[in-house]
Amino acid sequence: MCGIAGFVDQNISEDHAYNVLKEMSRTLKHRGPDGSGQFFSNRLSVGLGHTRLSIIDLTETGAQPMVSTSGRFKIVYNGEIYNHEDLRERTSDAGYAFRGTSDTEVVLAAIEVWGLESALQMFVGMFAFALLDQERRVLHLVRDRLGEKPVYFGWQGDTFLFASELKALKIHPKWKGTLNTSAIYDLISLGYIPCGSSIYSQIEKLPPASRLSLDLTSRDKKHVVSRWWSLSKNLDQSGEGHFCGTESEAVDSVIDQLRSTIRDQLVSDVPVGALLSGGIDSSIVTAIAQEQSARKIETFTIGFNEKTFDESHHAKQIASHLGTEHHEWIVTPGEALSVIPDIPKYFDEPFADSSQVPTFLVFQLASKKTKVVLSGDGGDEVFGGYNRHYLGPEIFTKLSHVSTWMRKMAHSSLRSIPVKTWQRLLTTGLGNRVFPGTLSVSVEKLEKLIRLLPSTTRNEFYQSLVREGDVSVLRDVDCREENKASYILEDQAIHFAEEMMRVDMLTYLPGDILVKVDRAAMANSVESRAPFLDHRLIALAACLPINLKIREGEGKVILKEALNRFIPKTMTQRPKSGFAIPIDDWLRGSLRDWCYDLLAPKSIAEAGIFHSDRVKSLLESHISGRKENGLTLWRLLMFQSWLQEQR
């Protein structure tokens, strides 16, 4: 991977422009430690900066900024085009003369031969790039279909800025960086700040599958953002349930597409490894990668001393069965905790998915052996792997049979019952009698069920599931209902689970999962490739009937069947655990002093964002063990830690 940065500034000298570009690029060196380059056009007042992680074409012919053979286009590019060899052959046949072997040059060739819009439809891969059309005097910013690679952009006065990460924007002398308080509502409720905004006012994240075009001849500071690919349209055209074969044939189709995708993603001028957690998604990716590799694939996993959170023994067993070159790191609490204070520096904007810690650590492990790894990211969103996908629709249906006023009354009454009372009742087994068939019911799970009671629409139900943070800690932050990002269309023709999966791909995937992976990987100068995010595989999954993804309270049915062809069922048949850390215990133990320091009343008052008495109550009830408030506390800590880093 690489880092891109740049600006449009009509009031900057050439010498100053190059100095600023060099400094912007320097902040992104972790994204590309192998090289750096800058370009500034006096005529168009456009600056482009780049840092390079060399993966394909390790020579200087792959250096950026890169110009097309005609001289019309200049590009700074972050990504991988997996079908670049095919596109190289086709553009060569059309008369394009190549100088090197990089996929960056293939991007330029395709744009020059077919035009930007047509070329984008042909690209298979992940990318974010800035393209300067020197003939038409237009600057384009482009992001890949699912949002694997990031682009921030915005106006600071009369200057337009863009970069892979916020830290590069702050270098420009026009930077102001006004806090966007409305984004903090999303951070506390969701754990991340969605696309379309950022922690700073006037700065946005370019949405996935979007293209921003800025006319450099215009003086009205207007840019146009358009979609060049639509997930919903792609899925609708695929047609849920339109696969006409047998279940066995469906499994064959999924395996065949994964084989094709992984074969393309194994192409690299450096060795490619795989992250292996021992779960379904990473296991099938690793199995197919090893099947197609002439050498032993390097696999990487981390584990914890806390057995409840440790899956490393499962990963080790699977690695042994597949014959990979396995690397394991059992992380001590001290090693894990040493990463946490530096998280704001790595993630650059408040981000509060606590699995960011093990994700960073596994990339740190991988960085000692390779520059490129395959991951299982996207499998849950594409094939229905989250609890809300396979348990949510049944709960929603059951709630729908109860009148609205009864549910609202029950919600109000149940919320008033003290936590200690619930704890006593649940220890008597009441939870499993009231909610038969559920997983062992904890106070936290029961509170989630109570929170769902007033939901009368699919959208309300979904928002209650995903917005788990306690927003009562917020003071004067704008948290009106209309500010809640929502993509659910209440389309009764689509199975509710399919609809949630689709919304997850539009929101949670690019806003949380892919941010976590990109920043953690790039902080360690490692490129992560996700076979499940190939748009052709997503289209295939959309064709499958829902019972091949979700059946009898379980998700990813077809992936489990596919995995059984590579690995014995006895090695993989166990409950989903996720990539978690014992955050609740750590906040009471090793992180306690850090927690008290960041959430001290004085620190909270200085921020002016949260109610100090409410934060104090949450913290004390958690530390005492009366209630598990780790989720909201972690989100508060990540904001306070980020704010401290900025100061």
Quick one: which of 149, 359, 382 has its CA closest to 280? 382
Q: Which of 116-120, 229-233, 283-287, 365-369 has the weakest average pLDDT?
A: 229-233
Which whole number is the average pLDDT over 535-559? 94
Is residue 439's pLDDT more than 70?
Answer: no
CA distances in angstroms from 145 to 136, 152, 232, 270, listed in the order given: 25, 16, 11, 25
Contact 393, 497 (CB under 8 A): yes
Which whole number is the average pLDDT over 295-319? 87
* Amino acid 5: pLDDT: 98
Residue for token pair 């006409």: 244
Is residue 349's pLDDT more than 80?
Answer: yes
Strand runs (DSSP E) across 432-525, as ranges?
Answer: none
Q: What is the pLDDT of residues 181-199, one digit of tens each?
A: 889 999 999 999 999 899 9
Is residue 345's pLDDT more than 70?
Answer: yes
Is residue 644's pLDDT more than 50?
Answer: yes
Query: What's the rounded Cα separation, in Å, for the pair 372 and 607?
Result: 40
Q: Which of 119-123, 226-230, 288-292, 311-315 has the weakest average pLDDT?
A: 311-315
Segment (H or E) for 503: helix 496-506
- Give the residue, 367 or 331, on which the prediction is more confident: 367
All residues at 6 or more sequence positions from 118 whose CB lies less than 8 Å from its CB, including other chains: none
Residue for token pair 């729908």: 400
Phi, psi dihedral angles at 601 (to 5 degrees): -50, -40
Query: What's the rounded Cα separation, in Å, for the pair 620 and 608?
Result: 20
- Give the residue, 440 or 405, on which the prediction is more confident: 405
Say which amino acid occupies 451. Answer: R
Checking DSSP bridges between strand 73-81 and strand 66-67, what pairing results, if any? antiparallel
Query: What's the rounded Cα separation, in Å, for the pair 129 and 108?
Result: 11
pTM, two decimal places: 0.93
Q: What is the pLDDT of residues 365-399, one digit of tens each?
A: 999 999 999 999 999 999 999 999 999 999 999 99
* Amino acid 143: pLDDT: 98
CA-based diameter of the chain, in Å?
Answer: 77
* Amino acid 429: pLDDT: 57
* Amino acid 438: pLDDT: 44
Q: What percent of the chain has pLDDT over 70?
A: 90
Query: What's the rounded Cα separation, in Å, for the pair 79 and 66?
Result: 14
The token pair at 585 is: 């215990």
Q: Round the average pLDDT of the chain to a whole number and report it.
A: 90
Q: What is the pLDDT of residues 66-107, one digit of tens each?
A: 999 999 999 999 999 999 999 999 999 999 999 988 999 999
**Alpha-carbon dihedral 115, 148, 6, 185, rounded to 10 degrees:** 130
All residues at 6 or more sequence positions from 480 whose CB lies less than 8 Å from its CB, including other chains: none
Contact 599, 643 (CB under 8 A): no
Is residue 591's pLDDT more than 50?
Answer: yes
* Amino acid 575: pLDDT: 63
* Amino acid 437: pLDDT: 46
- Treating both helix axes as pointing N-terminal to C-terminal, what angle do 392-400 and 496-506 enclose, rounded to 10 degrees? 120
All residues at 6 or more sequence positions from 231 whose CB lies less than 8 Å from its CB, including other chains: 145, 146, 208, 209, 502, 505, 506, 538
The token pair at 233 is: 């349209």
Q: What is the pLDDT of residues 620-636, one digit of tens each?
A: 999 988 888 999 999 99
Is residue 59's pLDDT more than 90?
Answer: no
Is residue 314's pLDDT more than 50?
Answer: yes
Is residue 485's pLDDT more than 70?
Answer: no
Which whole number is the average pLDDT over 492-512? 92
Q: Where are the alpha helices (DSSP H) in 340-390?
A: 343-347, 356-366, 379-383, 387-390
Q: What is the pLDDT of residues 103-149, one digit of tens each?
A: 999 999 999 999 999 999 999 999 999 999 999 999 999 999 999 99
**Alpha-carbon dihedral 568, 574, 576, 579, rounded to 10 degrees:** -70
Is residue 436's pLDDT more than 70?
Answer: no
Which whole number is the average pLDDT over 261-265? 96
* Amino acid 156: pLDDT: 94
Convert 414-425 to b/e letters by CB count within 10 Å (16 or more is b): eeeeeeeebeee
Query: What's the rounded Cα separation, in Å, for the pair 573 and 397?
Result: 28
